[in-house]
Amino acid sequence: MPEHTFRVNGEQVTVDVADDVRLLWVLRDLLGVTGPKYGCGINVCKACTSHLNGQAVNPCAIPVGEVGPDDEVTTIEGLAATVGGDLHPMQQAWLEQDVVQCGYCQPGQIMAAVALVRRVRAENRDITDDDLDTLRNICRCGTYPRIREAIRKAAAHM
């Protein structure tokens, strides 16, 4: 089997697995990183949303063979370290807005929200309803109003 080396949450990892194995399975099954959740496996629900080189991606749709030694995967477990704190401002806003019900989709929701706010900030503008409407992560509990409020609150602190 081929070896694949890349970074996960700031640490270099090497796995021995076929090129076509999805990154989500490598993270969860081989590396024990369980924040990205398996929801649909076909890039629809987005429960597995993580960051690849700072961009929101869905590891269920990425073969590990497409990830190289210069690539950085950040999951919910490594998010706080990106700001050097105990919690990322988005995680803190999630708590303050009491977003979570069942919690299954929340790691993916938070990772997608962080990427969105970073993109909007890079464009030197405030987040809008149209921006929030671009998020397609599915929440079966329907906490979308609280999710939107948490994103707005965190955006003020990012």
In the predicted model, what is the mean pLDDT of residues 135-149? 96
For the chain, domains (ranges, CATH) are 3-78 (3.10.20.30), 81-155 (1.10.150.120)
Q: Are 86 and 95 in contact (CB under 8 A)?
A: no
pLDDT at 1 over 90: no
The label of the residue with tokens 């989709």 reads 105
Q: For residue range 119-137, what is the model confidence (pLDDT) as tens digits?
A: 999 999 999 999 999 999 9
| pTM score | 0.96
pLDDT over 70, % of the chain:
100
Cα separation, 10 vs 147, whole angstroms = 27
pLDDT at 101 over 90: yes
pLDDT at 48 over 90: yes
